[in-house]
Amino acid sequence: MSALLARTVDAAPTSRHRTALEVCAHLPVTTEELLRAVAGEDAGELFKWLRTLSFVEEGPYGLYPHDVVRDALDADLRWRDPGGYAELHRRLSAATLARIRATADRGERLRLITGSIVLAGGRSRVETCSTPPATLQAYVDDLRPGDRPAIEAMTGTWQGAEQARQAGYWMARDPGAFRVFRTLSGEPRGYAACLTLDGTSADPAAEAMWRYAQEQAPPRPGEVIRAWRFFVDREHGQRPSPSTTLFAACQTLDILTLTGVAWTLNGAYADAGQWGPTMENLDFWPAFDGAEHPVFAHDWRRVDVAQWMAVVQARQDGEPTRATAADAGAVVLSRAEFDAAVRAALRDFDNNPLLGTRLSPLRELVEEAAATLPPALNDLVDRTFLHPVTTQERVAETLHLSFNTYRRHRDQAVARITDWLWARS
């Protein structure tokens, strides 16, 4: 292996070329666009150079090195420069995420995510994350009218008649929640379903997940609860299979593109012992043991998507992170509690419930919010709350306002600051 690595490195005449090789080794496939995230304006020249190398192949989506070369280069950088490896991983992950969000095509999004999952899994120390099976040309599709018998049959085979009945119930009630994993011939080989819960279903397992979220930290106005309720592969159940990899890709895409989601719950895995380490690695904590399957949970108001990505990437790179726990991350306040906390903070920035949320540093954020106000209101807020030196009655006098007019302007400013902070909470 060392001789192979030496010959590979010798192919790189400069440090820029070595960096291009490391990028190519780290990504499932390398495009000029992704290379630009690290190489900048040199990306075009370096991409052309990569195409000349005998151990770099060209595929329909970009360039990729021979697996042995890929493993040698990636392992060498990780051993030689752990900090540089982590920084490369962060930059390429951000570039891949931007590409995922820039395309509306679900198939392209899932292809990018699936490639990253397969490659990252080969480098993972978590058993159920490692060496995820290739998809073997299986693909993700929507539920079709003729799929119900096959889905009920595979569910019944692996999970029993009651689960099959519940799957049938949800296919009739919410067919858009289902993702069907098909072979090239189009037949279902597996499926998953992610429900948006509202507490009105006839499914005890879904209702238990809905109650858990309500009891722990209810969704605020405009927020929803997402719940992965089913996952089965026709031939392997929940053992590693192409469906397992596609299921992980669907879950990741839902996370990366979610908006207005308070909770994501996963009650699809039957074996907590097998899948618990994987879910913990992905920052989902054990919520409760459901009647059908154990449930894992993540509250996105405590740890948002950006923070979640940082934690997951750090764990992939072997960096220390906080332990996963139900009380990790920020405090979740209702809108009424939030409004009261802002009013209290404007009187005293210390010992405030907002200090336990993601709104930190609090005083600096209030100043930033005040800066968005018209100059007259910003001046009022500065004199009243940020740098008070006298009573509010005297502030009104110095601003040449009646006290009633002053209070009306003050309350308007506080409401606008509160809305600004709420949008970032």
Question: pTM for this one?
Answer: 0.74
Q: How far is CA 208 from CA 133, 177, 260, 314, in A?
A: 32, 18, 21, 32
Contact between residue 86 and residue 25 where contact means Cβ atoms under 8 Å apart: no
Highest mean pLDDT out of 68-82, 240-254, 273-287 = 240-254
- pLDDT bracket for residue 305 (50, 70, 90): confident
Phi-psi region of 33 (alpha: psi -120 to 50; beta: other; left: phi over 0): alpha
Confidence band, pLDDT 50/70/90 cuts, at residue 14: confident
Q: What's the pLDDT at 261?
A: 94
Looking at residue 328, what is its pLDDT?
52
Our CA dihedral for 261, 266, 268, 272, rounded to 10 degrees, sits at 180
Task: List the one residue out of 234, 229, 145 whose CA is nearest residue 188.
Answer: 234
**pLDDT reading at 127 higher than 70:** no
CA 278-283-287 angle, 5° bins: 90
Answer whether residue 326 shows pLDDT above 70: no
Phi, then psi, of 398 in degrees rounded to 5: -65, -25
For 139, the enclosing helix (H) or strand (E) is strand 139-142
Q: Give me the CATH code for the 139-316 domain, please.
A: 3.40.630.30
CB 41 within 8 A of CB 29: no
- Which of 62-71, 169-178, 314-323 is predicted most confidently? 169-178
Least confident of 11-15, 284-288, 331-335: 331-335
> Of all residues in the chain, what percent carry a pLDDT higher than 90?
46
- The domain spans of the chain are 2-102, 139-316, 335-423
**CA-derived radius of gyration, the chain:** 26
Q: Picking from 18-22, 42-46, 102-106, 328-332, which range would have the lowest pLDDT averaged per residue?
A: 328-332
Distance between CA atoms of 240 and 242, rounded to whole angstroms?
A: 7
Alpha-carbon span 4 to 100, nearest angstrom: 34
d(CA 423, CA 405): 27
Mean pLDDT, rounded, for 207-228: 92
Contact 37, 46 (CB under 8 A): no
* DSSP string for 343-382: HHHHH-SSS-GGGGSS--SHHHHHHHHHTTS-HHHHHHHI
Return the ∠ at Cα 230 (arms to 229 and 233), rounded to 5°. Answer: 165
Residues 59, 29: contact at Cβ < 8 Å? yes
SS3 264: strand
Q: Which helix (H) or strand (E) holds 212?
A: helix 204-216
Structure token digits, residue 57: 């192949």
E strand map for 175-307: 178-182, 188-197, 224-233, 261-266, 285-289, 294-299
Given this model, what pLDDT does residue 157 score? 97
Residue 143 pLDDT exceeds 90: yes
Q: Among 106-110, 143-147, 186-190, which is the least confidently predicted range?
A: 106-110
Mean pLDDT of the chain: 86
Quickly state the pLDDT bin for 340 (edges 50, 70, 90): confident
Cα(103)–Cα(205) distance, integer angstroms:
34
